Amino acid sequence: MTNGYRPEMIQHAFIDFIGSHLQPFWSFTVPKLRLVARYILSDDLIALKFETNHAFRRQLVGSQRGWQGGQHLNLSVLIEGVYHQRSYSLLGLAHQPLWWHDVTIGNSINSGARKNQPPYLAITIAIKPQGLVSDYLTKHMAFGSVINSSVPSGSFTLAQTSITVQTKSAAEKPAFLLFIAGGSGITPMLGLITQALDNGHQVTLLYYSRTEMLPFKNQWQQLSTAYPAFTYHLVNTEKSDTYLAGKRHLSVDSLLALNLPLADTQIFACGSQALLTGLYKAAAKVTLPHNKNLRDNIIVENFGHALPDFNFDNKQALDRKKYTAQHTVYLRARQRQFDSSTTLLNAAEDAGIRLVHGCRRGICQLCRCNKVSGVVKNIYTGKMSSDGYESIQTCINIAMTDVVLDI
């Protein structure tokens, strides 16, 4: 008998279809999560703990079968017969236990969960209750409910740092890392900071919040005690005695007050557009040696999809008018076109054209497509593309010339 194609007698997809009707949590191929607990982290931040299914654990990449600090999950949530996709940051790391406040909401912490679970059988995200999906997950989703999920992904990780990585065994000068967060932007920082400290970095956290109950306050204190290389500043914008350099919000004085070698410091920032705009404005006022630009040291995770104002003086304000001038975007496969002076995704929607998208903030990658020609600019990093064929995200790029997309 010759060797050749041997079709599966029973496809995994068919088994999944039958199995999902018998046990919704079971699947060969689809990562799924089951809600087991909720925790109040602050006045406006709630953590959700999920049990992971076999497909989720099997698809985790790497020898540690975990994830990197700063990564996120894409969740597919069914609400009133309609699936909604959202991205949420992961708390902590797979092999390190999380600390929790004693206060919980809803059922007890182990509602539906197994005790003494091995690492990475449970996973936790933090959500600010706002919007349709977040409100459903934090207030209305029943314990034991099952949702589809991606495996952890995202590039807001230590691997993106351009500063020399320091390990415990290295002899060279340690790298300095500054983590800046506002509001729910603190969510990915716990895993990032823990991983950075384990790798021997000098770490500083600067966190801004409007609430009395600051998330992870006890955790930051414990990390500070365990790691002399960790310092933190928790700023409650409603309390002047917590201000840094006497400033309520992030400013150049705030950055300088940290007494860091900024030229050699990698900055990770996550929060609202107002926070990120303040950071870029402050960075522009910092003078570094050898014509270095502090902005080049900044890596951001973004909330929202409004076009941030990165203009620092009148000349650049004039340049922005040129950047947001209208250009024509051609969709080659659909034989459609539209004018764009904002992000490609928003401009398409303004023209009545539906494009695939998810989070609208450059995280989930669902809007990624191939650009055939033309130049686009990333609204968060300011990076300009080439004029040729490449992969881009429509939710975070604006057209700088006429653009052809392979859509």
Helix (H, G, I), strand (E, B) or coil at 358: coil
CATH number reported for the structural domain that contains residue 201 in this entry: 3.40.50.80
Query: Residue 365 carries which side chain, given as an amino acid letter?
Result: Q
- Whether 394 is covered by a domain: the verdict is yes
Distance (Å) of CA 108 to CA 103, 218, 220 = 10, 21, 25
Residue keyed to tokens 């018998």? 22
> Which two three-digit tokens encode residue 125?
């995200």
Tell me, yes or no, whether 18 and 145 share the same domain. Answer: yes
CATH of the domain at 38: 2.40.30.10
User: Are residue 72 and residue 38 in the same domain, yes or no?
Assistant: yes
Helix, strand, coil abundance in the chain, percent, nearest 5: 25, 30, 45
285 and 337 housed in the same domain: no
CA–CA gap between residue 116 and residue 273 (Å, rounded): 40
SS3 (DSSP) at 399: strand
What is the token pair recorded at 139? 């207030």
Residue 261: both structure tokens together: 């070698």
**Cβ contacts of 27 within 8 Å, gap of 6 or more:** 16, 19, 20, 53, 54, 55
Phi-psi region of 204 (alpha: psi -120 to 50; beta: other; left: phi over 0): beta
Residue 50, Cβ neighbours under 10 Å: how many? 24
In a domain, 275, yes or no: yes
Token pair, residue 104, equals: 């919980």
pLDDT at res. 112: 44
Q: Is residue 348 part of a domain?
A: yes
β-bridge pairing 336-340 and 368-373? unpaired
The two structure tokens encoding residue 256: 């300088």
Chain Cα centroid distance, residue 157: 9
Q: How far apart are CA 276 and CA 307, in angstroms?
A: 11
Distance CA 3, CA 109 (A): 54
pLDDT at position 12? 57
126 and 187 share a domain? no
Helix or strand or coil: residue 56?
helix
Looking at the structure, tell me whether residues 342 and 293 fall in a common domain. Answer: no
Q: What is the DSSP letter of 362?
A: S
Q: Which domain holds residue 88?
A: 12-99+119-149
Tokens read off for 295: 């902005």
Tell whether 331 and 267 lie within a shared domain.
no
Same domain, 253 and 353: no
Q: What's 104's DSSP letter?
A: B
Examine the domain organization and report whether 28 and 65 are in the same domain: yes
Residue 337 carries which side chain, given as an amino acid letter? Q
Please tell me whether residue 203 adopts helix, strand or coil conformation.
strand
Q: Which residues pair with 35 in a beta bridge?
A: 50
Task: Give the residue carrying structure tokens 């076009």.
Answer: 307
The alpha-helical segments, DSSP class H, found in 211-272 are 217-226, 252-257
**Inside any domain, residue 55:** yes
> Tokens 């990032």 label which residue?
192
Take residue 237 and report the two structure tokens written for it.
């914008």
287 & 185 share domain: yes
What confidence score (pLDDT) does residue 371 get? 93
Domain boundary among 286, 301, 316: 301
pLDDT along the chain (407 residues), means of 10: 53 59 76 92 89 88 73 89 86 76 40 48 87 91 93 86 52 77 92 93 94 86 94 93 92 95 93 86 89 87 48 40 70 90 89 84 80 88 84 91 93
User: Would you put residue 30 in left (φ > 0), alpha (ψ -120 to 50) or beta?
Assistant: beta
Name the DSSP class of 263. G
pLDDT of 192 reads 94
Verify that 18 and 144 share a domain, yes or no: yes
In a domain, 54, yes or no: yes
Q: How many angstroms separate the Cα of 373 from the Cα of each of 54, 150, 285, 331, 355?
A: 42, 31, 35, 11, 18
Can you give the pLDDT at residue 159?
A: 86
In a domain, 23, yes or no: yes
Task: Give yes or no: residues 190 and 233 share one domain.
Answer: yes
User: What is the reported pLDDT for 362?
Assistant: 75
What is the length of the chain? 407
Examine residue 72 and state whether it is found in any structural domain, yes or no: yes
Q: Are residues 139 and 256 in the same domain?
A: no
Instruction: Measure the CA–CA gap between 81 and 90, rounded to whole angstroms.
Output: 27
Q: Is residue 217 part of a domain?
A: yes
Task: List, in sequence order, every beta strand (DSSP E) within 279-335.
Answer: 298-302, 327-331
The total number of structural domains in the chain stands at 3
- Say what the pLDDT of residue 236 is: 92
CATH code, 347: 3.10.20.30
- Write out the two tokens for 234: 């928790």
259 forms bridges with which residues in the sheet?
Answer: none
